[in-house]
Structure 1
Amino acid sequence: MSFGESYFYSLHYQVPSALLELEPNIQLISEDFTDVDLSFSGLIWFHLAPGATIAAQTATIRKCLPHGKLVIMSDLPSDLEALAAFSIMAKAYCNTHSGMSVLANVASVVLQGGIWIGEAIMHRLLENQVPAQDIAKVVNTKWDNILTTREREVAVMVANGLPNRVIAEKMSITERTVKAHVGAVLEKLGLKSRLQLALLVKES
């Protein structure tokens, strides 16, 4: 089983055995990122270190490898950390010690353009925010028919993990207008976050 070239980054950690078994040729990259292909668009398995925020830890790699698909690996996963991971547009968040079958699923989902999050954490993040019947109602009435053409474009780009700045550039509009579109989309669909919107778009 191969998912193409992949990178692994960690300050003080070797490639986890399950990940190495999944990807025997995975490339371990150094802290200064001088040994990487700057146009790389594959999977970047990023092992978190304690003592610093996810945004701070990933700032350089996100700047150096903007097209890479970032998979955050945590020794002690938590709901707040998961939210932080997706707030910096990570494509997946998982336990460093996950088995090979879980990691294979992560890789498959992300490489197909999806966002992967563990089922238990996903349920906790969505718990008590939007009733299941409300989500089902939106899906069953074909969510994109509810939105204007511009709003549909914004919704898809949000679901693909693009920040407002990039969406504004792609659509030749201001970030303020993008923010207004996102607000309108969330209100029309009865959602409370970009994460919920991403899950809805990807699953429907």
Structure 2
Amino acid sequence: MLVLSMAPSEQEAMLALQSGARGYAHALLAPNLLQQAALVTANQGVWVPAELLNRVLGATYKGLGGAERVSQELLSELTERERAVAMAVAEGVSNKEVARRLNITERTVKAHLGAVFRKTGVRDRMQLLVKLAVQDERIV
């Protein structure tokens, strides 16, 4: 189920997801994005607004120990700019804010993020966060 709202809020999104919805979006979402949301949720994926996903990523990053618990081995495979983009994304920062912080365009951020995804073998921001997190040997 995909819940659509005319006045989306973080609280409503959390309630919808906790109630079993697979997605939550603004009712006036662009048609192509609405199709993507329907496809993702129909295939057991989860669709939430980018702002909410960024908040979840940032909270997860902090919960996993933040910068002190990042895989330095994995980061060493990236260029300096790719590392900066990867770390900002792990913190839950939007592409627009990453661009502002690094004084580059959003298109360049996306290009660096694409390179990070290829080099680390992940498909999205959440997978990147999990891959960057150093796992406790007792848990693995």
TMscore range, shorter length: 0.5 to 0.7
Which residue matches 2:36? none
Q: Is the 8 A contact 1:154 1:182 kept in 2?
A: yes
Q: CA deviation at 1:163?
A: 1.2
- Taking a change above 3 Å as real, the CA distance of residues 111 and 184 of structure 1, as seen in their structure-2 partners, is closer
Which residue matches 1:84? 47
**In the aligned structure 1, how far is the partner of 2:134 from the partner of 2:93?**
18
| Higher share of residues assigned helix | 2
**CA RMSD, Structure 1 to Structure 2 (Å):** 3.6
Per the alignment, in what secondary structure is the counterpart of residue 62 of structure 2?
coil
Structure number with larger C-alpha Rg: 1
Per the alignment, in what secondary structure is the counterpart of residue 52 of structure 1?
strand
Q: Which runs of 4+ in 1 moved over 4 A?
A: none
Per the alignment, in what secondary structure is the counterpart of residue 14 of structure 2?
strand
**In the aligned structure 2, how far is the partner of 1:176 from the partner of 1:155?**
15
Q: 1:163 aligns with which of 94, 97, 108?
A: 94
Aligned length in residues = 104
Per the alignment, in what secondary structure is the counterpart of residue 200 of structure 1?
helix
Q: 1:72 aligns with which of 1, 8, 14?
A: 14
Task: Give TM-score, length-normalised by structure 1.
Answer: 0.41
Q: CA deviation at 1:56?
A: 5.5
Which structure 2 residues correspond to residues 129-144 of structure 1 after superposition, within 5 A? 142-144=73-75
Q: CA deviation at 1:164?
A: 0.7
Q: Provide structure 2 residue ranges, at least 5 long, that are not aligned to the other structure.
A: 24-40, 65-70, 136-140
Whether 1:179 and 2:107 are equivalent positions in the alignment is no
The one-letter amino acid of 2:22's match is: S
| Higher share of residues assigned strand | 1
Which residue matches 1:7? none
- Taking a change above 3 Å as real, the CA distance of residues 194 and 110 of structure 1, as seen in their structure-2 partners, is closer
Comparing both chains, which one has the higher relative contact order based on Cα–Cα distances under 8 Å and sequence gaps of 6 or more?
Answer: 2
**In the aligned structure 2, how far is the partner of 1:177 from the partner of 1:189?**
18
Q: Percent identity?
A: 30
**In the aligned structure 2, how far is the partner of 1:203 from the partner of 1:174?**
30
